[in-house]
Amino acid sequence: MSDQWHDLGRVEDYANQPLRQIRIQRIPIALSCADGDFGAVSGVCNHAGGPLGDGTLEGDYIVCPWHYWKFHRVTGAGEPGFEDDRVPSHDVRVEGGRLLVNLTPATPRNKKPHAPHPLARRDARASGPPRVLGISTTAMDPAHPRFSGSDALLTTALRHAANLGHETKLVRLAALEFRACEGFYSKSAHACTWPCSITQLDPKDQMERVYEGIVHWADVVLVATPIRWGSASSLYFKMCERLNCVQNQVTIANRVLIQNKVAAFIIVGGQDNVQGVAGQMLGFFTELGFHIPQFSYIAHSRGWSAEDMERNVEILRTSDELHMGARELAERALALSKTLLDAAPMERMARGGRKAHGLTPQEP
C-alpha cells in the first residue's frame, strides 16, 4: 500500500500529553510522546479491541486500559515474552514544526494464537437426571468453622437431592479465594468478557468454580445466605458482581449462557427483611436467565429484637419444619428442572428493555 501521510498539526499541541487516542479517517491510533520522541501504533488492542491510546505508559510500553495487555509504543511488539503478539505500527515525522503520521501501517498486526479458556467452550449438557449445585454464601474463617443456619439447611437440601438419585455439589464461597469485580464494564460493555477477564488474567482466581458450576454443570442452583443488616451476605454480593460477565453476554452478543436452569433460595437471619433479601435474589437470578419454581425460597428470622443468637442457632439445628422445608424446596426445584429438560427446546425469546443497541466493537 502507498504512503498516506496525514498532518496532525503543530508539534507542541501533541508533545505535552504522553499518550492519547486519535482517530483519523476512521483509523484509531495510539499516539505517544516520551522525551520529545513520538510513537504511533494501532489504537485497537489484540485481546478484546480495547482503545490502547486511552491506556497508560509503563516505560516504552502502552498498557491497554481494558485488560492490561502491553505493546511497545513505537514498534507495536508485545511485552518481553510476547513479542510475536503485535499491533501495527505507524511511522511519524516532524516537518516544519508540524507532526505527521503515516496512515499506512509500517508493520502488520500479528495475533499470537492463544488457547481458549476452558470456560469458553460451548455448553453441552450431559445426559442424566438434573444435577444440583449448592452455593453457601455465609462468611466465616474456614480454619475455625462455626454453625451456620443457612449452610445447614442447604446441606439438608443437597443431601435430600442426593437421596433422590441426583448428583450434587457444594461450593462454599468462604473457602474460595476470588477477587472482587474490578469494574471492566464501567470502561466499556465490551470490556466485560466471557469468560470473566479476571479469571482469564489470574489462574489463581477461584471464581472459576462458580462459573463452571452455574454455566456448565448444574441444572438446579440452590443459593443460601444469612441476613446481614437487612441484606444478603457480603460474599453473596461479591459473587453477584463477578456474575455480571454472564448477564453481559446477553447485552453485547445476544448470547444466553443460562438455558433451562432453575434457581431457588434459602434465607436465614437474626434480623428481619426476608422479603427484601428474597426480592433481590429473585430479580438477580432471573436477570441471568434462571427459571424460578413456585414458592422459590424458604426463610427463617426471629426479627430485629432477637439478639440471643444462641437460641436462634438452636432453633435452626432442631427445627423439623425448617429442614423439611429445605427438602421440599429441593423437590420443587428439581420438578421444574425435569419439566424444562423434558420439554422441546424453547425458541430464543426477544429480550426488550435491557439489550444494548448500537454497540459496535472495533475488530482488530
| 313, burial (CB in 10 Å: exposed 0-12, middle 13-18, buried 19+) | middle
> Residue 298: which of 169, 153, 139, 173 has the closest Cα?
153
Beta bridge partners of 71: 62, 78
Distances (CA, A) of 351 to 80, 214, 215, 347, 360: 44, 21, 19, 12, 19
Q: How far apart are CA 6 and CA 126, in angstroms?
A: 57
Burial 160-196 (b: 16+ CB within 10 A, else e): bbeeeebbbebbbbbebebbebbebbebbebbbbbbb
- Domains in the chain (CATH in brackets) are 5-102 (2.102.10.10), 118-342 (3.40.50.360)
**Quick one: pLDDT band at residue 80, thresholds 50, 70, 90?**
very high
Burial 238-266 (b: 16+ CB within 10 A, else e): bbbebbbbbbbbbbbeeebbbebbbbbbb
Dihedral sign for Cα atoms in the order 228, 229, 235, 236? positive
Beta bridge partners of 297: 265
Residue 364: is its pLDDT beyond 50?
no
Which DSSP letter does residue 16 get? T
Q: How far apart are CA 2 and CA 4, in angstroms?
A: 6
Beta-carbon contacts of 55 under 8 Å, excluding residues fewer than 6 positions away, are 19, 30, 62, 63, 64, 65
Q: How far apart are CA 313 and CA 326, in angstroms?
A: 16
Chain segment 175-233, per-residue pLDDT in tens: 999 999 999 999 999 999 999 999 998 999 999 999 999 999 999 999 999 999 899 99
Chain segment 37-73, per-residue pLDDT in tens: 999 999 999 998 999 999 999 999 999 999 999 999 9
Kindly report the pTM of this predicted structure: 0.86
Q: How far apart are CA 153 and CA 156, in angstroms?
A: 5
Quick one: cell of 139?
A: 462468611
40's enclosing H/E stretch is strand 37-42
Distances (CA, A) of 71 to 51, 59, 184: 12, 11, 20
**Quick one: pLDDT band at residue 114, thresholds 50, 70, 90?**
confident
> Residue 175: which of 195, 151, 158, 203 has the closest Cα?
151
Chain segment 237-272, per-residue pLDDT in tens: 999 999 999 999 999 989 999 999 999 999 998 778
